[in-house]
Structure 1
């Protein structure tokens, strides 16, 4: 939660005052910058709606638990800074007229003089198993920021993932499941040209969105990725019945199954089931109530 947020905080479960204060304390600052990296990699629509409705947003203190635990993990790790490591450094760079900032959790100097960037995440085992596109974007943006410093070359990117829902039994039974509650996830390092292009594209997109907001125009829509859209599925079912006989991830597989299994049937059909926009529909987005894209079902 940034310093610009002024959301109204409730205590619906009547937690004791010390716990309430611990959960709602906010020390975050993006420094003297216009945009933070975390804002730029996210939807400009979400950023602007949050700014416009910061006093209207309500959140219960109990829902802040995981964010606060993540902050606590960061602070615990940041207390240790052995030689060759830089911890929690906020960097700044200017693109066009905008000042950008980002806080890099850990920079480790390697034997060849280059640097590995690491970011701490308190997350789910599912995130490690399936990956998150946001991690790639965030750390490559950090690499771009780090290389604005003189004589810095980034050689590798890593996530230090603390898994809040890790289960030892699953680790013993499933080889694909994380084998420890803390794991290192290697993030692909983009080329310098790709990083430059991405940074400039994100700044341009957010700049244009700010102008659209100022002039009263419709904000740019969130992408499917920004809305955490689940893939569509394709159901083989009897006509006029809701229950699926079999579900497929691709339409081609569903068509093949229908043609081979029910070739002579006039009672079966393929129904396209649109994937859920998880961020919008599962109450993950704080500004969904004021979002025309969500409210109009676009």
Structure 2
């Protein structure tokens, strides 16, 4: 992998981040649980083009902060077991996983995530979180004979704002939030892990272009929505920035026009338009490491509202 430093991050920070990244290892496992969250196309393109992938050092800041936080938390986790990386064989293929925390008293397995508020509220990674924690639980039960009765993620939000929280405390999260996830049936979770390994192995011999296209969910395909503008303006009308359907946007315009008629008896009424913001594969456009090697990747010139 090649690294860039587009934002001129100071060298001591760059070295600290690079040192952390160099320590990561999945051991002699062929796949990690984190890798298996991805579809076969991403798994194999990453393996084949690992030396050609280019990432900016800024992309690692969140995970670096998260690792620092967890290292400090470990010092104060009474009753927690530190096991390191654990290995399991699935159909003769070695898989590894390394959860952040395991409370032996509560039989509670958890992970820590440094992320943005949008990443949490969008739900783009909910499926990954559930898969990761529940498959860690499979490994702990099968290999270490540890009971797991509870799985969770503790989020630390890198862009948390008190002002936003005070405006909408029912929907905006607190600065640190622990979310308990659904605990999957052990046998079903194990079957899913076996299926993921089988798929990865099955497509290993396929060429880049033959690898199956990622699903809409894997692409983080955004839902289409509609915006209302006053003709001639580049900014959406207040309150008219996001509607799930054209009918909702049309009703909003009808209400606006009624208010305009009540306010102004003379002069031409404002003209409004509706713009459709189409579905876009946000992961493909902005967050996929292997987009440069993927035949399905959309052009970089495609415009999309970016929310990290």
TM-score, normalized by length of structure 1? 0.79
Deviation, 1:65, is 2.0
CA shift, 1:209, in A, is 1.8
Structure 2 equivalent of residue 120 of structure 1: 112
| Separation of aligned partners in 2, 1:295 and 1:255 | 31
Q: 1:279 aligns with which of 280, 283, 300?
A: 283
Whether the aligned pair in 1 keeps the contact of 2:87 and 2:143 (CA below 8 Å) is no
Select 1:38's aligned residue among 21, 34, 37: 34
CA distance in 2, matches of 1:79, 1:100: 28
Q: Which whole-Å CA distance do the structure 2 matches of 1:236 and 1:77 have between them?
A: 47
Unaligned runs of at least 5 residues, structure 1 = 1-6, 259-267
How far, CA to CA, are the matches of 2:273 and 2:12 in structure 1? 58
Q: Partners in 2 of 1:296 and 1:13 — Cα distance?
A: 24
Contact persistence 1:209–1:219 (CA under 8 A): yes
Structure 1 residue 269, shift from structure 2 partner:
11
TM-aligned CA deviation for residue 230 of structure 1? 0.5
Structure having greater relative contact order (Cα 8 Å, sep ≥ 6): 2
- The Cα RMSD (Å) is 3.3
Partner of 1:183: 177
- Asked if the contact 2:209/2:294 (under 8 Å) is kept, the reply is no
**For the residues of structure 1 that align with 2:110 and 2:15, how far apart are their CA atoms?**
30
In the alignment, the residues of structure 2 paired with residue 14 and residue 150 of structure 1 have an alpha-carbon distance, to the nearest angstrom, of: 45
Name the structure 1 match of 2:53.
Answer: 57
Which 4+ runs in 1 deviate beyond 6 A?
242-246, 251-258, 268-272
| Larger strand proportion of the pair | 1
Q: Is the 8 A contact 1:289 1:295 kept in 2?
A: no
Instruction: Give distance in 1, aligned partners of 2:186 and 2:250.
Output: 43
1:18 corresponds to = 12
C-alpha distance 270-167 of structure 1, shift in aligned 2 (>3 A): closer
After TM superposition, give the deviation of residue 45 of structure 1 in Å: 1.1
CA 1:192–1:13: 2 relative to 1, 3 Å: closer
Choose 50-59 or 33-42, whichever is displaced more: 50-59
2:193 corresponds to which residue? Answer: 199
Equivalent in the alignment of 2:291: 288
Q: 1:77 to 1:236 in 2, by over 3 A?
A: closer
Counterpart residue number, 1:161: 155
Residue matched to 2:214: 222
C-alpha distance in 2 between matches for 1:77 and 1:154: 21
Indicate the residue corresponding to 1:149 in structure 2.
143
Counterparts of 1:273 and 1:57, CA distance in 2? 31
Cα 1:252–1:219, aligned 2, differ >3 Å: closer, same or farther? Answer: farther
Q: Deviations over 1:164-209 (max 9, x none)?
A: 1111222233222223x22111111111232123112211221112
* Distance in 2, Cα, partners of 1:250 & 1:197: 39
Contact map agreement 1:23 1:62 (CA 8 A) in 2:
no
Which ranges of structure 2 fall in alignment gaps of 5 or more residues?
Answer: 254-271, 301-308
Measured after TM superposition, the shift of residue 29 of structure 1 is 0.6
